[in-house]
Structure formats: structure tokens, C-alpha cells
Amino acid sequence: MRKYAPLRRPPRISVLVRPVILRSKNFLENNDMKMEYVISTWNVPSLPIVGSDARFPVRRIFCVGRNYVEHQKEMGGDGREQPFFFAKSAHDLVPEGGPVHYPPMTTNFHWETELVAVIGTGGYKISSNKADDHIWGYAVGLDMTRRDLQQVGKDKGRPWTFGKDFDQSAPVGPISPASTIGHPKRGRLWLKVNGEFRQNSDIDQMIWSVPEQIAFLTQYYTLEAGDLVMTGTPAGVGPAKPGDELLAGIDGLGELRVQILPPR
């Protein structure tokens, strides 16, 4: 006979789990979660804004390839092919330009001056006639490129990451808000290297317009507020070397200055 009542299985500790309500404002993250991280976090990459002390937080950087006829020719392309994109990390940004070290593992470090469209309102499957409504502003950018490593990618059918997405590969100037300047459809885009013009075109020479690029991109991605789109470069790309000073500009958007330093 048992002295005690048989041990009953201890009752399961029931933890009342309240369903987490994801009140996220956007598709990609839940701003309501309070996280404790095991390493210290970093500052959100950001860009200054013309006429404001506030900054614009940057999420992702999409870049279109071969989007000006003369550049497409110099890169060996022909005709109006479908646009294609690659990406850079937001951590590649060099806000407002400044010193940029000549990067490692390349002997052919190229400049590409570009109009940067800044997404202020995200969207999926945005139609090109609505795309301007999603753009918060514009800036001058440089899609700095390790051309030799990009070429390896092309030759071997490998990603362009090493050629395009590396430290300091995305100098971008301050953002001019569309609420102030509107949505520029034309305007001279130029680059001087050590005072001499090396790129000199107009943003109306794009093969795919900015709205068309956004329409195309959002068939594949949900664009989010904070995303940047680098909209392609005209002809005249070429190799920078330590000691060079690059001065890029687009009418109405100011200038972006970069000094190339020796390798680290």
C-alpha cells in the first residue's frame, strides 16, 4: 500500500502566451520589438538632407546596369535590353563624399556618376505613372566599381558582388527633397577628375527612366522607405588612382567631391 497518493504527473506549467501582434508599418521589420543584442549595434547608415538638420536613414541600395546608350556601347552592349540590377550594402555609403581609400584587390577602380533616387514610400508592383509619388528626393552618387573584379564575374558567370559591393563604394551627396525640387527629368550630369571633364551627359539620356526602373524593380522586390536606386551612369567611366580628386554634379542637385587616398 502506498503511503502517499501516487505522484501525479506535475501539471504542465502553462505559460499564457499572448499572441504577438505585429503592428509593423512595413513588410520587412517589426518596429515594436525591443531587442537585446549580444553585440553592440551600429548606427543606421544615413544621408544628410539639403535644407534640414535631420538625416535620411538608408536601408538598401539598388543599382541599374548599362542605362545610358553611350555607356552601354562602351561596356559592349547593344540595344534596349531589359534593365538589370545589382545591389550594394547601405554600409558602403560615404555620406557627402570625402576621402575614399583605393580599395584592395583591384588595379582598375572606376568612377560612375549617377542620379540617385531616394524612396520615401515603399511599394510592390508600382506602376511607372505612380512611381514619382514614391520618391522622397534625389542626390548625386558615385557607383565606384572594381572593374577588373566585375569582369571576372561577367567572364565566369559569377556574382558582381566583389566588383560592386565593397567598403566605401557608394559616395552619395546630400538629398534634395522632391517637395522642394520636384522630379527632375532632365539636367546635366557630369564628372571632373582633377579639374577635367570625364563624364558629361544629361539624365534625359537614360534608357530606362527612373519611374520605369522603379516599376521594373518592384515586380521583383517590395521597395521600402529608405531604399536608394542608383540609376545608371553615362559614358566616360574610367580608372581613378590615389591622389585623384573626383567632383561629380547634377544640375539642381549640387556637387559631390571625393579624394582618392592610397590603399589602407
Binding site for Mn ion (CB under 5 A): 112, 143, 233
176 versus 231: smaller Cβ distance to Mn ion: 231
Distance from C-alpha of 216 to C-alpha of 208, rounded to nearest angstrom: 10
Cβ of residue 61: shortest distance to Mn ion, in angstroms? 11
Cβ of residue 19: shortest distance to Mn ion, in angstroms? 45
How far out from the chain centre does Cα 214 lie? Answer: 13
Cβ of residue 168: shortest distance to Mn ion, in angstroms? 15
Sign, CA dihedral 97-203-87-118, equals positive
72 versus 233: smaller Cβ distance to Mn ion: 233
55 versus 212: smaller Cβ distance to Mn ion: 212
Q: How far is CA 204 from CA 114, 159, 188, 189, in A?
A: 12, 29, 9, 10
Distance from C-alpha of 259 to C-alpha of 254, rounded to nearest angstrom: 17
- Residue ranges of the alpha helices (H) in 185-248? 210-217
Cβ of residue 158: shortest distance to Mn ion, in angstroms? 18
With CB atoms as reference, the residue minimizing the distance to Mn ion is 143
49 versus 63: smaller Cβ distance to Mn ion: 63
Distance from C-alpha of 256 to C-alpha of 167, rounded to nearest angstrom: 18
Cβ of residue 215: shortest distance to Mn ion, in angstroms? 19
56 versus 86: smaller Cβ distance to Mn ion: 86
Strand partners, 261: 101
Give the angle subtended at the CA of 84 by the CAs of 74 and 197, to the nearest 5°: 35
Cβ of residue 262: shortest distance to Mn ion, in angstroms? 24
DSSP-assigned letter for residue 128? G
92 versus 143: smaller Cβ distance to Mn ion: 143
